[in-house]
Structures are given as structure tokens and as C-alpha cells.
Amino acid sequence: MADPSYPDDLKYHPEHDWARIDGDTNTATFGITWYAQDALGEVVFFDAPDVGAEISKDQPYTEVESVKAVSDVFAPLSGEVTAINEALADKPETINEDPYGEGWLVKVKLSDPSEVDALMDSAEYQATLD
Amino acid sequence: MSFTTELRRTPLYDRHAAAGARLVPFAGWEMPVQYAGIREEHIAVRTGVGVFDVSHMGQVETTGPQALDFLQHLLSNDLRRMPEGGAQYSVMCREDGGVLDDLFSYRLAECTFLTVTNAANHEKDLAWLQSHADGFDVDVVDRAADFAMLAVQGPKARDLVRKLSDGALPGRFRVCERSVGGAAVLVCGTGYTGEDGVELLMRPDDASGLWDAITQAGATPVGLGARDTLRLEVCFHLYGNDMDENRNPIEAGLGWCCKERTGFIGSDAVAAAREDGTAEKLVPFAIEGQGIARQGNPVIGGGEVTSGTFSPCLERGIGMAYVSSARAAEGTPIEIDVRGRTRPAVVERKPLYRKGA
């Protein structure tokens, strides 16, 4: 399992989700943070939403399960799901191994890019973990 | 009744912390739920050897000329079938058959028995036993503070412990005293994982040294998380999940350890349940396809999941649930409401996991 890390190029939601924003296309990639995957333990199931699903900031849009626990995943921003990480169906543990890379969950076309202003940067997020 | 909220720690707390365990409250104790990860620990026990700290469990010693008669009055199994140096699983019931606890008892001498209680039930069990001792020539003594307890489980467990021991290990469902790693240990040929192995009872002061010797000999530390997935794969019951005072042993699938002819407390109710049948039965199930049912999920059409997890060996959702007896037969399709999603499942045969299958 990777060491704790909170990349500077991401935006963070207090429910331990991250968003990587592509400002040119108003799309974003979502995932869960190192802290979230560590608290959950080894992920054994990612219940992906449907492509086309509308998701709302601060609302759960999917679930990830470890052997012992199930956890809601909250949308850091609002929009329409344009892609899901199909590779997680066979290898959900990728979420643990590479939470900011191969372990991404969904790509979303943002409905209100200004919502980004409400998210935290890496330093602000890490301060909430202490 | 104790109202303290302070969690108790086993003598191995420092070892767990040093090993990077995630410690959680469990039955009033601060216990390791996992070290390296539940799946990894689970596989270590199925393929090699793992060591569990189960010092939270309680012990009650019953001695005296009528120790056998007394325990026979309270425990569901036929204790006359337990020789000196033997071990036996049973339940303890209320008059109405409700299950107070499930227990392993060890016959250490003709008139000396040691009974291991679930941590959450220890005080209740002790009070129940002592309150029924009038009229019997026995002493019922709380020994929980006198023992730490380790379970060493897995296909390589016996080999590992044998090398630390001054003599041969007891067979399955047998118990004997040995020196292990230089400490006086009660070695029990029991466990709760579906694997071969032993459970070791020792003085609390000797626990750290034994833990070190066993882990240095190659045993993987295993937490309560994998203890739960291991026992559920082989359909061993967890008290408080799969049965409680509101369930009798027949509906819980524990009739095999009830010998009503012995006349134990609750035997009339158990005999009636066996004769008349019960409205519901506890069944093992496996989810078809994706999804993991959890404790408390409703079975559609009636019933409830009592234990549910992801099986590391079967790589699917498994569990146990009470369903109406009409739907309890192996192969019956059922549906489980998993947080609003209907997940198809099938009633399976015990155990869900078979070695080599």
C-alpha cells in the first residue's frame, strides 16, 4: 500500500474525496483520498454508478466496500457522469494501491464549475486530518 | 453492573500497537481488528499459520465432587462424553431455550472444568452459573483475570507450536499442560477458524514472551476482522449476531450440540422446538454476482441477515440469515435488500468454504 500523500494539483472534499479539474473542458475526475482508503481497508467492491447519472455536490453517488465495511462516496462537485473506471470491477484493490492514479472512480462533466471554489487545497485538507 | 466506559487492554496491547494494528473497541476491550489487512491475514491462516490474541475471552472454573452434574444441568451437550483431557462445545440456555452463550469447556481433571466465555457475556454467564450452584457441591470461580489466551491456527500451526513445546500436542478436542516457549501453558486442540491448530491459555505475564516466540517462528498476527471472515466461511456462529437470548438452538442450527435427554436447563423447550419445528431457521447463503450483504439487511419476504461479509477465499459476498423454514432448504433462491438494492442469493450448505474445494 502506498505511503500517505495528498497531491497539490487536486481539490479535496471534507468527506475524503478528491477532484482533478480540467478547466478547459469543465470536466473533472473523482476519487477517494489516501486517508479514506486507509480507513476503509482493502477495497473488494466498487459499486459504479451508471454513465449519464446526474450527481450532486455533497451527496453520495456510489459505494465502496472493504471486507468489513461499506462506505458511501460523496460527490465533491455536481455534474453528469461521463465515464466510470471499468478496470475496478476486476481489480477494486487498485483504489488502495493507487488512489490518485489508476484508482480513479468516475469522470464527470461539471454542471457548475464555480463549485470548485468551495473545495480545499491539499494543505487545508491535511489540516482536517490531524 | 459496571458503567465504566474505559476500555480494557490485554497484556499484548503494546505488541499490537508496535505491529501497527488498528485497534477498535470490542465487547469492552481495545482489540486489534487488523494488522497488514484482513484479506492477507485471512489467507495466512488458510495456507500457513496465524496467531490471534483472544485474551478478551473469559474463563470460569468449576470444581468439586459434583462439577460434572452441575455443568450437565447448565450446558446443552452430553458432558459424560467428555473424558479427562477432553474438550466440548455447547450452548447454555434459559428455561425457554433462549441461548445465553456458546462455550467451549475443557475437562482438566475428573472434577475440574474450565469453560471459555464470550467476552461480552462473561459477567452474565458467571452470574447465571453461580446463581444455579445452590444444592450442588461445587465451586464456580471467575478465572478471567488469571489467563491470557492465544489462538494459533492454520495448516502449519501445530508444527510451529510443537517446535516450541516440550512434548506432543493434544489432538483435536483434547487439552493438556505443556511448557511452550518456556512458559506453563494449557494447550487446547480447538479453534474457531475451520483450520487445524491450537488455543493456548497462559498466565498474563507470560503472554508477551509467547507472542514473541510464536511470531518470530513465522506466525502472522491476525486481528478480529479476519477472525470474523474465517469463522463465517465455515459457518461458525458468532453470539450476538447469529443467535442470542431470543433464539433457541434449534432455529440457530445448533441442535447438534444439544442432548435433551440430559435434562439441561432449557432442554424441554429445545425438545419441543426440535419436535415441532421452528418458524425460522438460520441458513448460510452466498450472493449471486456482485454485492455484499451485511448484518441487519432484510431478506425480501421475511428474515434478516445476521452476519455478512466478503469471503476472501470464495471472492464473493457470503453470510448467514434467518429465513422462514419453508425457504431454508439448500439451493433455495432468496433475495436480500442490500441498502435499497435487491441482491440475488442462494441458500447454501454448511460450510460455505471447504478445504481444497
Over residues B43-67, the pLDDT tens digits come to: 999 999 999 999 999 999 999 999 9
Question: B3-8: which pairs have CB atoms within 8 A and are 24 or more residues apart?
Answer: B8/B56
> Taking the model in full, what pTM does it have?
0.90
C-beta neighbour count of B159 within 10 angstroms: 14
Tell me if B71 sits within 8 A of B133, measured CB to CB. no
Residues 6+ apart with CB under 8 A from B16: B23, B32, B35, B53, B221
pLDDT for residue B229: 97
Maximal C-alpha separation, chain B:
58
The size of the A-B interface in CB pairs under 8 A is: 40
pLDDT digit string, tens, across residues A59-113: 999 999 998 788 899 999 999 999 999 999 889 999 999 999 999 999 999 999 9
Arithmetic mean of pLDDT, B63-90: 97
* For range B278-293, the mean pLDDT: 96
Range in B2-11, B58-67, B78-87 the model is least confident about:
B2-11
User: What is the per-residue DSSP string for B6-17?
Assistant: PPB--TTHHHHH
Residue B10: the pLDDT is 98
The length of chain A is 130
- Give residue-wise pLDDT tens across range B203-235: 999 999 999 999 999 999 999 999 999 999 999
* Distance to chain A for B303, nearest Cα, Å: 21
B109, three cell numbers: 481433571
A67–B229 CB contact, under 8 Å: yes
Residue A41 and residue B38: Cβ atoms within 8 Å? yes
pLDDT for res B109: 97
**Nearest-angstrom CA–CA distance, B79 and B65:** 15
Please give the mean pLDDT across all residues of chain B: 96
B64 SS3 class: coil
Structure-model confidence comparison of residues A40 and B146, the more confident one: B146
The mean pLDDT of B155-180, rounded to a whole number, is: 97
Mean pLDDT within B229-243: 97
How large is the average pLDDT for residues B165-171?
97
A3 touches chain B (CB under 8 A): no
Q: Does A4 touch chain B (CB under 8 A)?
A: no
Backbone angles phi, psi at B339, to 5 degrees: 45, 50
pLDDT over 60 (residue B1): no
Mean pLDDT (chain A) is 93
Q: How far is B135 from chain A (nearest CA, A)?
A: 47
